[in-house]
Amino acid sequence: MMEEQQFWDIIDMNLKHHTLEDDIAYDEFLHDQLKKEQVRDVIGFQLRLIELRRVLDSFEVIKTAQELAYYSSREVFNRFCNGIVASGKSFYYKVKDDPEFIKTLLKEEPIKLRYCYYEGFSLIAPNVFHEKEGNDADWVSALKNAQRLSELNNNKGYDSEMDREL
């Protein structure tokens, strides 16, 4: 998995050039940034996105998504969370760490949540992966293998699989 700061550095670079108001330009710039990375980092970027998005799966975020009609399915909710992540580290951590922040934003400045529906964000890394590895390359297997390797590396202190289970 990509280091969190490296992930945020890529997002910050993107936000210096484009906002989510112009999601096509945002997508294209992010695509160009990821093309500079090695394949393992492209996969790591996606794993980090998934992890950051998973953390947003909280009562307050879900409640806000429902009020904005961004909770009709898991896919729609994920797009809402994509927008929160794509809005940058500061915004993400305000949403994550302060349950009142997103409720207040919804009441007082709902326009700021307007661009928190971002479909393309989840599609850019797979696209770059296929450009680098070819259309026949198996993105899902590469992602799952990298995720498993990350899980194993996080448990480095164990001598064997059996030790990990105990």
Which residue in 7, 1, 48 sits closest to 148, CA to CA? 1
Please give the backbone phi and psi of residue 129, each rounded to the nearest 5 degrees, phi first: -55, -50
**The predicted structure's pLDDT at residue 162:** 44
Which three-class secondary structure string do you get for 30-45? Answer: HHHHHHCCCHHHHHHH
Question: Which of these, 76, 69, 67, 75, lies nearest to 102 by C-alpha position?
Answer: 67
CA distances from 114 to 2, 29, 84, 111 (A): 28, 21, 11, 5
Instruction: Please report the pLDDT score of residue 116 as a whole number.
Output: 83
pLDDT, tens digit only, all 166 positions of the chain: 899 999 999 999 999 998 888 888 999 999 999 999 999 999 999 999 999 999 999 998 999 899 888 898 999 999 999 999 999 999 999 999 998 898 888 888 888 787 788 888 889 999 999 999 999 999 999 999 999 988 888 775 555 444 444 3
Nearest alpha-carbon partner for 79 in 141, 14, 12, 23: 23
Instruction: Tell me if the pTM is above 0.95.
Output: no
Give the integer Cα–Cα distance in Å for 153 and 102.
34
H or E segment at 85? helix 74-86
